[in-house]
Amino acid sequence: MVILGVDACKQGWVAVELSDGAYTDAQFSNDLRDILDATLRAEVVAVDMPLGLVSHGWRKADTEAKAVLGPRANSVFRVPPQQVWLENHYEAANRRCQELTGSGLSQQTWGLAAKLRAANECLESDGGRLYEVHPEVSFWALNGKAPLPHKKTSWEGQMTRRALLRKAGVVLPDDLGLAGRVPPDDVLDAAAAAWSAHRIAKQDAFCLPDPPQLDRRGRPIAIWY
């Protein structure tokens, strides 16, 4: 059983591959599509990026993820409706968000625009094996459904996350090739996504919300762990 966990990073996308739950490979690419095309053998691909958008209001998945993460709640961005992402500039997107939700759009959330669009384009063409995850939710589950006390960019945070993955059988080598050039927290996030992908493939995963919210086409909108 081959699966893939993918995290969006500043430089592009980093992916961790597991076979039967154990580490087998890591990849880096500027293009998510390149990673997907190179790993057609992967039965499930878990992506740390919002997949599926609502037509109005806010997604329930983000609200519920924030609720369980405690001190790590700020790592989850509320994702506005689909129409907001059709705008080309932040100012217009912010106005549209105000119209559709009654609240403004943060610059940080708008910073997801290019990669969110890319991921949702891949969902259209490769949707059968793509699932949305959030690494902090995965680490929350790995930690006995308790949020981690330290940020992922801190030494304590990274060592705790690597130890949790190791305990779950996901042992990352010191040499990751090109993937090792991205920040360590992004690699750890991709590995956590891979852990969730393995659970999805085994049909052992859970999601927020449960049952999932549905998009206009009846497809689930949920964060899996």
At 157-178, the pLDDT tens digits run 999 999 999 999 999 999 999 9
- Low-confidence winner among 54-58, 84-88, 196-200 (lowest mean pLDDT): 54-58
Token pair belonging to 83: 């129409």
| pLDDT, position 125 | 87
At residue 121, does pLDDT exceed 80? yes
| pLDDT, position 78 | 96
Instruction: Give the separation between CA 73 and CA 120, rounded to whole angstroms.
Output: 24
- 48 bridge partner residues: 7
Instruction: Give the separation between CA 70 and CA 84, rounded to whole angstroms.
Output: 28
Question: What pTM was computed for the model?
Answer: 0.96
φ/ψ of 6, rounded to 5, equals: -125, 135
Instruction: Give the separation between CA 171 and CA 77, rounded to whole angstroms.
Output: 29
126 — pLDDT class (breaks 50, 70, 90): confident
At residue 127, does pLDDT exceed 80? no
- 196 bridge partner residues: none
147 — pLDDT class (breaks 50, 70, 90): very high
The tens digit of pLDDT for each residue in 1-31 reads 999 999 999 999 999 999 999 999 999 999 9
